[in-house]
């Protein structure tokens, strides 16, 4: 969710530029279109655990890369090491494309995937060190 908020802050900065305390409201009220765009960015709620699910998905893919997954509408099993990166690239492309009316927080998904990757990397390195010390 933090990555989604960072992207939203960047979008707002691109719309209204750098605002100081003195000229903020003037720039904000310049056009009704800017205000509507800002409202659509900030007043859309984020609900759900999809970012955490993406973290679990990436962690599973890192721990069990050769596990075969059955994906809906794909008639053959696909290994996790192939399908999960493709799914992440699809989320990235959907986040960059910014389709009108798309109310999905794609960058929250990517942030969850990144956190899942980092955590498994840290924990896996710790466990490898632990097992080599005590073997």
What is the model's pTM?
0.67
pLDDT in tens, 11-22: 766 766 655 545
Whether residue 74 is found in the same domain as residue 115: yes
Residue range of the domain that includes 104? 48-135
Whether residue 10 is found in the same domain as residue 72: no
State the virtual CA torsion across 109, 7, 42, 31 in degrees, nearest 10. -140
* CA 122 to each of CA 15, 49, 114: distance values in angstroms, whole numbers, following the listed order: 38, 23, 12
pLDDT above 90 (res 60): yes
Whether residue 54 is found in the same domain as residue 113: yes
pLDDT in tens, 78-128: 999 999 999 999 999 998 887 777 778 888 899 999 999 999 999 887 776
Whether residue 86 is found in the same domain as residue 27: no
Whether residue 74 is found in the same domain as residue 118: yes
Whether residue 37 is found in the same domain as residue 57: no
Whether residue 35 is found in the same domain as residue 58: no
Pairing of strands 68-69, 78-79: antiparallel
pLDDT above 80 (res 9): no
What is the number of structural domains in the chain?
Answer: 2
Whether residue 22 is found in the same domain as residue 63: no
Q: How far apart are CA 9 and CA 42, in angstroms?
A: 9
């Amino acid at each position: 969710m933090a990555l989604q908020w960072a992207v939203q802050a960047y979008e707002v900065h691109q719309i209204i530029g750098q605002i100081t305390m003195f000229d903020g409201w003037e720039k904000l009220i310049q056009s009704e279109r800017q205000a509507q765009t800002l409202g659509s960015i900030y007043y859309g709620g984020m609900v759900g655990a999809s970012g955490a699910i993406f973290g679990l998905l990436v962690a599973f893919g890192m721990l069990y890369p050769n596990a075969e997954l059955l994906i809906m509408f794909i008639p053959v099993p696909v290994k996790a090491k192939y399908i999960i990166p493709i799914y992440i690239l699809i989320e990235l492309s959907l986040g960059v494309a910014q389709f009108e009316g798309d109310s999905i927080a794609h960058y929250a998904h990517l942030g969850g995937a990144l956190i899942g990757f980092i955590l498994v990397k840290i924990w896996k390195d710790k466990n490898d060190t632990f097992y080599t010390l005590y073997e």
